[in-house]
Structure 1
């Protein structure tokens, strides 16, 4: 057994300052957060680079960015520090108090209509957790960006990610009463060829997403291409806004237009062919240690969304 110390107090402090600089992309910001001087942060990083014989940052006069080796080292160090913090809290009986910064990426509709309204309740339960939300419909790269979690509309073909389903979100076709009075109400999916169907282009591929219907004969879900004079790319809420303005028919998630349907500003079309859905999944890297704050958020979100699904089913 090797009894020689691998890390002294100075080295552990250097690792902490390096992680702060990597998270904040600034020596100055890291110094302010840690209550030390920027020179102390710079010396700590230099100490680590000398120890390992690799460059951790590319430095310019105004910016710093991680090298490939630096990013790999940062990912490992961040998880290791999180494990140390959790171990200390467990040993001292503070395991029930999650703390720290949680970074999560999620798509626009799910952010605005599902997750953001829940965050005040989450922080009331766990006030020591700070939540950074990145709202975008593009797929993030966990290896390149320092996110703890991501929510996406489907599980990616990436064996390095763990996908946990949050819900199957029901789809609905809607239009304004004014549009239907002007263009008529389609009686079947085949009749959509006579209508202005607002298109949505997938951010990842630019491919137009087909509309999903339940086949009356088989009861199975089928995809149907549609066409129209409007398309929205990048943000599915653009199609919802167009539909609300009377531009045509649009298929979207029921949770996005629930209020419109209740108030009558939008009308559900083709309900006999409905009942289709698309999944939303929670993603995180395989093998990454999940800190207490991340596990607490995952459990909270699954709990709240399960209640939403139960209310909708009833």
Structure 2
């Protein structure tokens, strides 16, 4: 068997902690993964992995061998990248997971442009709002949109999305424009139902912070549903710009307190902690950052400023 290929399999098994996860990630059968590990253990004359019914861990010798393998493979990858960068195109299947609303609203055009630029890359895109274990489920990377990020994965923030308190022109014509955030306590509001009902909205202006307890007229787990309800005049909404930015720019919604800070989400791109990042993953990260066109502290969907 090819020893370098076996080293790649061994590294992935240690990183993922599972023969089955490594097999899915590498598009191999579990039996073939076992053959590669057996080849290395026979070649080295040492037991490299301790196997249980639930997990696979490197032995003490295996941990040292893992470090040496990653160094060897990293050096080979760097040498090949330098030698063939001018002629070799990235290829393979890129597996990505992203939140449903963010994916539906913003990823199709980006993905289409990416695939046109890189014809030898295929794409699997899973849109879901559940918490995905990208290591165990074999994804190359994840896009997350969150206030705070608590994860052992490697990643970076690539943009922010600020919250605006918004209402439709029709609603404002009917009910009047509130002059102060405190007035929202007496207005019908639409807000998120998860992870718990967002019934306390925070406003900051001029160094002063204020919290307002609102009464939900509508609760939903779907940002798109809240957007449509707010545009229809059901009530006043607190929405992030990646959801409401286009409606604000078209005049379908009005930002009621644009000078107030109402909170912010970070847009993150995450990938499993491993030393060797495939070229297709690196170039997608660069392409996504380029497509959003800003920086880690910029909001590409805020058209109010």
* TM-score between the two structures when normalised by the length of structure 2: 0.70
Alignment of 1:58-137 (within 5 A): 67-69=54-56, 86=77, 89-90=80-81, 92-94=83-85, 97-137=89-129
1:214 corresponds to which of 186, 204, 224: 204
Q: Which residue of 2 aligns with 1:231?
A: 219
Consecutive unaligned residues in structure 2, runs of 5 or more: 14-18, 42-46
Q: How many residues align?
A: 277
Change (3 A) 1:102 1:49: same
8 Å CA contact 1:15, 1:44 repeated in 2: no
Give the Cα–Cα distance (whole angstroms) in 1 for the partners of residues 108 and 200 of structure 2.
28
Give the Cα–Cα distance (whole angstroms) in 2 for the partners of residues 45 and 286 of structure 1.
20
Change (3 A) 1:206 1:24: farther
8 Å CA contact 1:168, 1:277 repeated in 2: yes
1:165 corresponds to which of 137, 142, 157: 157
Q: CA RMSD in A?
A: 4.2
8 Å CA contact 1:199, 1:231 repeated in 2: yes
Give the Cα–Cα distance (whole angstroms) in 2 for the partners of residues 270 and 243 of structure 1.
16
Q: Which residue of 1 aligns with 2:267?
A: 280
Secondary structure of 1:166 counterpart:
strand
Shift of 1:115: 3.1
Q: Answer yes or no: is 1:177 the counterpart of 2:169.
A: yes
Give the Cα–Cα distance (whole angstroms) in 1 for the partners of residues 213 and 274 of structure 2.
39
Give the Cα–Cα distance (whole angstroms) in 2 for the partners of residues 210 and 162 of structure 1.
32
Give the Cα–Cα distance (whole angstroms) in 2 for the partners of residues 84 and 108 of structure 1.
38
Secondary structure of 1:121 counterpart:
helix
2:244 corresponds to which of 246, 253, 257: 257
Q: Deviations over 1:152-177 (max 9, x none)?
A: 2244233x233412112132222223
Give the Cα–Cα distance (whole angstroms) in 2 for the partners of residues 43 and 309 of structure 1.
47
Q: Deviations over 1:249-302 (max 9, x none)?
A: 111123423332344333332334357533222223344422211111111222
Secondary structure of 2:184 counterpart:
helix
* TM-score between the two structures when normalised by the length of structure 1: 0.69
Change (3 A) 1:42 1:197: closer
Give the Cα–Cα distance (whole angstroms) in 2 for the partners of residues 127 and 142 of structure 1.
25
Change (3 A) 1:93 1:11: closer
Shift of 1:97: 2.0
Q: Deviations over 1:96-125 (max 9, x none)?
A: 522222222222332233333211222222
Secondary structure of 1:273 counterpart:
coil
Change (3 A) 1:298 1:210: farther
Q: Which residue of 2 aligns with 1:304?
A: 291
